Amino acid sequence: MRTRRINKRRMTIAGAGVAALVAGSFTVANANAAEPVFTADTLTSSAAGELATTLEGKLGADTAAGTYYDAESKKLVVNVTSESAVKTVQNAGAEAKVVEHSMAELKTAKSAIDKADIVGTARSVDPKTNKVVVTADKTVSKAKFAELEKLVTAQNGKAELKRSAGEFSLRIQGGDAIYSSGARCSLGFNVTKGGESYFVTAGHCGSVGSSWSDSSGGSAIGTMEESTFPGSDQALVKYEGGVDAPSSVNLYDGGSQDITGAREATVGEEVQRSGSTTQVHGGSVEAVDASVSYPEGTVNGLIQTDVCAEPGDSGGSLFAGSDALGMTSGGSGNCSSGGQTFYGPVAKALADYGAEIG
């Protein structure tokens, strides 16, 4: 949807773009309600996410070994390390898979590799293979790659090493365009805080106090109040008065997708992202809690996807239906040959800022 100002220049920016972590407060239906009851029927990805949280709490860190959503069968697959836990999973309405390594063991292995913090690498737990996947991009030297090989080997089968032909970089610009000091980024999601209107975008796009416009050289529509990068990659911009801020995402076909809430992403679920460079593309979630070491710094807790993106898609929206999931921090590849992108979870950003979707 195109941006426009109220009265003189009514603005309706919907979250867009890819390549940026960000955002504010977390509001999820039934967050404080009684524990949900699930059946063995097929599940939506959001319901699968709720069930995953419930089962992980019941099983504990030494028995649970990750979950993922099978989009084809619409079932939640739960990895467990003991046969005795299989019935618990099945009775809850999910499919059980007995694996070798617990999530606690895999997180310990990932932490050991994270400490090296080698630029040009990404690390995440893949529940489908029950291993930590370490990906080195084309900038990683032979010496550093050899160091990674030693680190991976030291994990005794809990990790595997891959080489990417692309280069991990921040995806600046994109989505429904927003501008500051000559730089262009994307708006992620419109949010509210204390009854006032804000939007979230990537922290690497700007600093606290920077002024933002909806056109190059245009008048200001807001000021950045919060910004974090590296570590996280999120920022909060407060709108000036008179700006219309609908809770929706630009679909670039003349329409938009209403966004009604935010939640955590589920591995295996199908997602979409919107950006001004490559518009709308889809794919699936490959991992959560991923770490990426960019040349500019390391960002943790990212959502990893196989959705493509290109420079100009940064700061925008990752979503599934009406659910906000994240904003892209960066990635590798492109939308011609394929790529991989990383997003900061909206739920965390919203919680950090005390904001909510809407």
The catalytic residues are 204, 233, 314
- 142-153 and 103-114 helices, crossing angle to 10°: 150
Determine contact, residues 303/291, Cβ cutoff 8 Å. no
Determine contact, residues 301/228, Cβ cutoff 8 Å. no
Q: What SS3 state is found at 145?
A: helix
Q: What SS3 state is found at 31?
A: coil
Count CB neighbours of 254 within 10 A.
Answer: 7
DSSP assignments along 36-83, one per residue: P---SS---HHHHHHHHHHHHHHH-TTTEEEEEEETTTTEEEEEESSG
- 86: its two tokens: 């299989």
Determine contact, residues 261/255, Cβ cutoff 8 Å. no
Q: Which residues contact 272 (CB under 8 A, 6 or more apart)?
A: 257, 280, 281, 282, 307, 318, 319, 320
DSSP assignments along 76-139, one per residue: EEEEESSGGGHHHHHHTT-EEEE-SS-HHHHHHHHHHHHTT--TTEEEEEETTTTEEEEEE-TT
Nearest to 52 by CA among 75, 29, 33: 75
Determine contact, residues 294/169, Cβ cutoff 8 Å. yes
Parallel, antiparallel or unpaired: strands 9-10 and 5-6: antiparallel
Determine contact, residues 18/273, Cβ cutoff 8 Å. yes
